[in-house]
Structure 1
Amino acid sequence: MSKVQDPVLREGTESPQALKRRQARQLFALSAGHALEWYDWAMFGLLSVYLGQAFFPAESVVAATLNSLAVFAVGFVVRPIGGVFLGLVADRLGRRPVMVGAVGITAAASLVIGITPTHETLGIWAGVIVLLCRILQGFSTGIEGSLGAAYGVELVPERPGYVAGFMATFNNLGNMLAPLTALVTTMLIGPEGMAEWGWRVPFILGGLLGFIVLWLRRTLPETLPPVTDGSTAPASGKSAEVWRGVRKYWLSVLAVVFIVGAVQAYNYTWLSGLPSMATGTYNEDPTGVFAVSTTLGGILTVGALVLSRFLDKWNLSRAFVVGRILAIPTIFLVLLYTGDGVGQLAAVMLGGSLVLLLNLTIFSTVANLMIPQQFRGTAVGLGYGIGVALFGGTASYLFVYLRSIDLGALFPVYVATLCAISLVLYLVAKRRNGVFAGK
């Protein structure tokens, strides 16, 4: 049997350098889809002021922005459904087909949003189309973040810190490309052109890039263990057995909900809440706001790449605990932004960037290592989806809304409480159930 046909023999005869190169190629194909997901979701929140006026017009810019952010949140609501359904498929039939299908749906929906006529042309149906696209994206990306991290630690089980940093680099690259695309478009056509039609460019670009990611993922190997007859087909465990495992580790699943939810509430406050409030509430120059967001994305991207070189030399659990503790006081930086210019916005967003970097880099890998491999897709998909839907998807809306009714001081208290709960649940679940290697 040739080396290509027998993956076990291939791994056994590869040099360490060749093995690392192959693993890097596989992680790149996997992480490129993560970059697309984060690009797409960051873009929708970042351009919510334009989307609101185009598809969900209201009596004021702030109201239209809130309408758009509400649709942004709806995409998160369906993520647990997608996470559970597709996670169960991944645990029974394999990781690869699910990851290929999910990125295809995300790309197609992004392209449709970019070419859909506005409310002025289609009336209410324009908003309905965008809403349906967000629902489809929520369903498909409900598994992208959780299963992608699981897939990564299964591809490279001996280096979870490297996987966390490598994949976070591309996650953050997506976050950086979103405001960068908006910044370049705004600089080329001006704020008026951006409001009129330029906001479509990033969505069309995201859709086209998605089909390139599909091509890259076609060669990913399957990591689910083979069936007992010796074939290389993935194990097809019964659904009941998977759910028994999920129930057995219910405390770990609950911990995943808050581990994910707390950091995503922090994350989307920085990625879309602050920029949306700057442009929609305080009428800041959009070019300057996009420049600040792009700088933040650059810090997160480069920082995650640097962390990928060092995380395996540290205790990943200890790094998570330190990062989560630091997030509690740092979230209160949002109170310092009062609409007094882009410089003040930059000080707040960049001031919290390093704490955001550490938390974003490791949270998904930490969550996946709390669940055994045989039902990791379902369990983490469930916990991840609920956490993002309850706390991440609503963060931007809640942040802008509380500020609009002069209760903005409550928001950082809310996020800090989520961080504290996540820390307690993680430590309790880790002590009771332990943690698991990539395989």
Structure 2
Amino acid sequence: MPVSTRRALLALGGGNAVEWYDWMVYGLLASSIGPQFFPSSNPLSSTMSALAVFAVGFAARPLGAVVFGRIADRAGRKGVMLFSIGSMVSTSLVITVTPTHAAIGTWAGVILLLCRIVQGVSTGIEAPLNSTYAVELAPEGHTARFGAIMGMYVQVGIVGASLVCFGVSSVMSQDALDSWGWRIPFAIGALAGGVFLWLRRALPETLESPHDDTDTKDDAEDAAPAGPWAELARRKLALLTIVFVVAGAQAINYTWTTGLPNLARTTHHEDSSAVFAITTLSGVLVGCLYPLVGRIADRSRISRTFWISRLATAALVFIVLVYQGPGLTRFTVVMLLGAPVLAFTMGLYNTVAATLMPMHCRVTGVGIGYAVGVAGFGGTAPYVLLWFQDHGAAAAFPVYVAVLCLLSVLLYRLAFARGAVRAGD
């Protein structure tokens, strides 16, 4: 791999890792943030309020996809990448220094909500732009490999969030963590983001990349001047497929990275340091499996690897039912057994989504599909998991996720049969 390509992947992937780090730190620390910004006599209610803000941030993602996706598709990818990480860094810094409810009342929650909305806009364009850039940068025959590399960077951010939370919770008491220690991981994310913001200044532009071989002659004709909605209207099936490809992946992702850890800490009262340590170990295992996922997909075809692994995921998600009561052993078993499931799900979905759209509307199309899928089904997964648990219907949650996975396979197979898949086969 040329040095210039490696540097581009570092700047691109490192910035994406910081985005995911900042996003996941909030989710992991929701049970500490909730009482500070949404005080309640019931700790679970405070945590669920914080998770509701977590979900609202996802609702802002379509705005980022629509507005900045069109800019990226028409003016270029680089400037939007700089905006994306810049807005994430600045809002993380604001969250770090925002006073709590005890100091400024309801304004604390308002500021937190506004920051999460801005971060939602940022991640609404960051994720599809990264998958688009990776596909356009990849040499022929290495599409899934480059997509898996981006997945590895995402995992670095997720694991980094767990590791930092584990470190902070290990060196201070639970009271100190809940009172002010939760701010430290946000400050670390803001500093790291500044480094990758600087590195991204040297990224090459790929809007007219010679490596892109996914646009056929029909796509070139489709690229004639048209409004964004007219372009996407011609690709309704591809757009709907992206929504559910993302929905299944992110429902699994946020269940393991946010939902289960918060269930352990809040409902089952597990030790915070132990929970963060197990979450980190699970994340490391997932990251180690990403290269294998990329190699398998490039050799066996992306489409085949996707639908077979997604069908397996629909069955294996039921292992969450093992953790229905206190017990770190059971929590560890669920987290580690879920790692291969998470690796194949997260290692492929971005590449699959990017191959469903042509270059001239790829960032917009993938961005909108991604934003709707994450907002509707991914970001809400931790809340839904805790809600089912709180209402004595825990068995309904894996059924819900399995249905999302099966729908994604059905739609993808239909899109593939109709020629909507444009790369990787």
TM-score, structure 1 as length reference: 0.91
Q: What is the match of residue 82 of structure 2? A: 100
Pairwise CA distance, 1:310: 4.7
What are the equivalent positions in structure 2 for 1:200-211 lying under 5 Å apart? Answer: 200-211=183-194
Contact 1:252 1:430 (C-alpha < 8 Å) held by counterparts: no
Which sits farther off after the overlay, 82-91 or 297-306? Answer: 297-306
Aligned match of 1:126 in 99, 108, 127? 108
What letter corresponds to residue 269 of structure 1 in structure 2?
A: T
CA RMSD of aligned residues (A): 1.6
1:23 paired with 2:5, answer yes
Pairwise CA distance, 1:305: 3.5
1:437 paired with 2:423, answer yes
Contact 1:88 1:239 (C-alpha < 8 Å) held by counterparts: no
C-alpha distance in 2, partners of 1:203/1:358?
29
Q: Deviations over 1:310-341 (max 9, x none)?
A: 54223111111111001111111111102331
What are the equivalent positions in structure 2 for 1:1-400 lying under 5 Å apart? Answer: 19=2, 21-158=3-140, 159-225=142-208, 240-400=226-386
Q: Deviations over 1:37-82 (max 9, x none)?
A: 2112211111100010111111211000000000000000111111
What letter corresponds to residue 167 of structure 1 in structure 2?
A: M
Contact 1:339 1:345 (C-alpha < 8 Å) held by counterparts: no
SS at match of 1:218: helix
C-alpha distance in 1, partners of 2:84/2:76?
13
C-alpha distance in 2, partners of 1:137/1:189?
28
Pairwise CA distance, 1:149: 0.5
What letter corresponds to residue 192 of structure 1 in structure 2?
A: D
Pairwise CA distance, 1:306: 4.1
Identity of aligned residues (%): 43
What letter corresponds to residue 296 of structure 1 in structure 2?
A: S
Q: Deviations over 1:90-124 (max 9, x none)?
A: 11111110111011101111111111111111111
Gap runs ≥5 in structure 1 = 1-16, 227-236
What letter corresponds to residue 89 of structure 1 in structure 2?
A: I
Contact 1:175 1:297 (C-alpha < 8 Å) held by counterparts: yes
Contact 1:91 1:377 (C-alpha < 8 Å) held by counterparts: yes
Which sits farther off after the overlay, 253-262 or 193-202? Answer: 193-202
Gap runs ≥5 in structure 2 = 210-222
Pairwise CA distance, 1:351: 0.9
C-alpha distance in 2, partners of 1:329/1:60?
35
Q: What is the match of residue 217 of structure 2? A: none
Contact 1:164 1:361 (C-alpha < 8 Å) held by counterparts: yes
Q: Check 1:238–1:67 CA distance in 2 against 1; reply closer, same or farther (3 A cut).
A: farther
C-alpha distance in 1, partners of 2:292/2:199?
24
C-alpha distance in 1, partners of 2:264/2:224?
50
What letter corresponds to residue 276 of structure 1 in structure 2?
A: N
What letter corresponds to residue 191 of structure 1 in structure 2?
A: Q
What letter corresponds to residue 200 of structure 2 in structure 1?
A: R
Pairwise CA distance, 1:398: 0.7
Q: Deviations over 1:178-230 (max 9, x none)?
A: 1100111111113222112111110111111111110110001111129xxxx
C-alpha distance in 2, partners of 1:136/1:434?
33
SS at match of 1:352: helix
Q: Deviations over 1:294-315 (max 9, x none)?
A: 0011111121144445542231
Q: What is the match of residue 218 of structure 2? A: none
Q: Check 1:219–1:371 CA distance in 2 against 1; reply closer, same or farther (3 A cut).
A: same
Contact 1:242 1:374 (C-alpha < 8 Å) held by counterparts: no
SS at match of 2:40: coil
C-alpha distance in 2, partners of 1:143/1:116?
25
C-alpha distance in 1, partners of 2:203/2:293?
25
SS at match of 1:240: coil
State the 4+ residue runs in structure 1 displaced beyond 2 angstroms. 237-245, 305-314
C-alpha distance in 2, partners of 1:150/1:116?
35
Contact 2:76 2:207 (C-alpha < 8 Å) held by counterparts: yes
SS at match of 2:205: coil
C-alpha distance in 2, partners of 1:377/1:38?
19
TM-score, structure 2 as length reference: 0.94
Contact 2:38 2:46 (C-alpha < 8 Å) held by counterparts: yes
C-alpha distance in 2, partners of 1:305/1:429?
27
